Amino acid sequence: MIKYALACEKGHDFESWFPDAAAYDLQARRSLIVCPECGSSKVAKAIMAPAIVGAARANAAPGEVALLDRRRRALRDAVTALHREIEANTDDVGGKFAEIARSMHAGDTPERAIRGRASGAEVEALLEEGVDVLPMPVPPDEFN
Ligand SMILES: [Zn+2]
């Protein structure tokens, strides 16, 4: 489906859906497209609306599809950026994460940003002790 913004000879703007560009041309040539406001069949394309929806998604609301895609893209970029941010600004302490995190929480080690590996049980224990551990965000590329 393709949506065209149309205008009649009197300048009335309206929008209409067509199966494809050829269908529009055919209907326009046969004067089958009529202005809903004045009934004129002298109608021409205004600017093409950027809402072109694939046949598989024809049942979904066109605007909704584009919005979701854009939102998902933005979210993906944000998670990737967050992951890079954390990676660039933390020390990788590997398997010593729980030990060092606990030591910092107790005030035995100066506080700094660290990342590393911890088991689920270790993370649970740390959280119970009041250590504010965050799961590392997974960049979307690693989901594939
Ligand atoms: Zn009109």
Rounded to the nearest angstrom, the distance between the alpha carbon of 34 and the centre of ligand 1 is: 8
Q: Write out pLDDT tens, residues 69-86.
A: 666 677 778 878 888 888
CA distance 35 to 126: 68
CA distance 4 to 25: 11
Rounded to the nearest angstrom, the distance between the alpha carbon of 56 and the centre of ligand 1 is: 33
CA distance 82 to 141: 13
Rounded to the nearest angstrom, the distance between the alpha carbon of 42 and the centre of ligand 1 is: 8
pLDDT band at 21 (very low <50, low <70, confident <90, very high): confident
More confident residue, 117 or 60: 117
Rounded to the nearest angstrom, the distance between the alpha carbon of 35 and the centre of ligand 1 is: 5
Rounded to the nearest angstrom, the distance between the alpha carbon of 33 and the centre of ligand 1 is: 11
pTM for this structure? 0.46
Burial class of residue 88, CB neighbours in 10 A (0-12, 13-18, 19+): exposed
- 137: its two tokens: 């965000």
